[in-house]
Structure 1
Amino acid sequence: MARNVEFDETLAIQKAMEVFWKQGYNATSMRDLTDAMQINSSSLYNTIGDKQELFVRCVNHYTDIRKKDWDKRLSSKDSPFSVLVDYIHDAVDIIINGQDSCMAIKCAFEMATNDQRVKDILKEDSDRSYQFLYNLIQSAMLKGEIDADEDPALLADYFNSTWTGWHESYILHKDPVKIKRMAQYFIKQLSK
């Protein structure tokens, strides 16, 4: 009988998340996961559960990382507009230099239509993203960095949709100049 192995669950979730992120849910086998996590299958089943439960935990882990990043940016002493511009540049860098696109976007298309728990996690993540952007835009408007006539709710929704489109464009065309130009155009529109 195989011995259950004790392991660092947070590190194991991180490693499993990276496998799901790269390969997607359907293309990932339990063997892929246990190899990456460096545990045996009985340890996985006894501590976390099945592949679906592990996937849900990985999606939660991913969205928690994003939330921490947004919270850190919101607490910055920099001007709201400069934080927003840095965020846009970082998004472009991730799109162009990241190997596996955005896990939330990938999950939305692969799993959220069939799995209510994943859909709920991603909806909460999207709502937090919207609130993060809304807060930055509204703060920038109050400081005169963005025209006060703009609608912060519309701009936050627009950026969330635009960000997804940039990912798709880069996946299909692999044109970093195109993504950078779209980002610069968006920043220019905000700063009018």
Structure 2
Amino acid sequence: MARKKEFEYEEKLDVAMHLFWEQGYYVTSLSDLENRMKINRSSIYPTYGDKKELFLKCLDRYQKSKLLEYEAFLNDNSDNALKDLEKILNLAVAQSIIDDKVCLAVRMIFEIALVDNEINQMLVANEKKIKNVYVEIIKRGMKQNLVKEELDTETTALFLSSSSTTLLKNYVLYRKKTEMTAMIQLLIQLIKK
């Protein structure tokens, strides 16, 4: 029985996550959560906490899943770090194109991170982990003689990570996949040896 409850817990958490993703944090009400999750308030509070606690659980789940996607590029023993960087940048944009919505973390950066310190810290901590993935791949690229050695790895990683947010912004505004591809190629050319 515990396995079923755990499965339902995760399943309902995914439902809540998609609702926050679709509507945003502020617009999503407890009534919306009750209706979409198909559980009442008296079950939400003891299981997930209040709206913010539920949101933090959703954001944590989302960020962990995305980080795993990025970290997979650290374990593939690729002999071409530039191709890996290109794949990561494409990965950042591809899901938004498929789902027709921007990354949940990026959405929350602009919606709530400026006014909520706890959410800001959570997003910053995750962004540092993503930046570290970029750092490792850039270092690998330098060892492979593919990436300019004079580049500061930390700054370059931060630049690439920040650029993925810019790519998403441009896709949301213009809906032109060809422009995304061209910008990704430009980013790669900027660091290529």
TM-score (norm 1): 0.89
Aligned residue number for residue 115 of structure 2: 114
- Aligned match of 2:189: 188
Contact 1:130/1:156 (<8 A) preserved? yes
CA distance in 1, matches of 2:71, 2:9: 24
Inter-CA distance 179–6: structure 2 relative to 1 (3 Å threshold): closer
**1:171 counterpart residue number:** 172
Q: CA deviation at 1:189?
A: 2.3
- Post-superposition offset of 1:159: 0.9
Structure 1 segments, 4+ long, off by >6 Å, are: none
Q: Structure 2 stretches of 5 or more lacking a match?
A: none
Alignment: residue pair count? 188
Residue in structure 1 matched with residue 53 of structure 2 by the alignment: 53
Q: Is 2:146 the counterpart of 1:145?
A: yes
Q: Which residue of 1 aligns with 2:10?
A: 10
Give, in whole Å, the separation in 1 of the partners of 2:7 and 2:130. Answer: 32
Confirm or deny: 8 A CA contact 1:92 1:183 kept in the other structure: no
**Which amino acid in structure 1 is aligned with residue 74 of structure 2?**
L
Aligned residues of 1:101 and 1:167 also touching (Cα < 8 A): yes
Bigger shift: residues 155-164 or 84-93: 84-93
User: Which sits farther off after the overlay, 84-93 or 123-132?
Assistant: 84-93
Query: Match for 2:130: what amino acid?
Result: S
Q: CA deviation at 1:96?
A: 2.9
| 1:130-141 map, 5 Å | 130-141=131-142
TM-score (norm 2): 0.89
**Greater shift in the superposed pair: 93-102 or 134-143:** 93-102
Residue aligning to 1:156:
157
Report the CA distance between 1:6 and its aligned residue: 8.7
Higher relative helix content = 2
Amino acid at match of 1:117: E
Instruction: For structure 1, list consecutive stretches of 5 or more residues without a partner in the other structure.
Output: none
- Is residue 2:14 matched to residue 1:21? no
Deviation of 1:7 (Å): 6.7
**Corresponding residue SS for 1:101:** coil
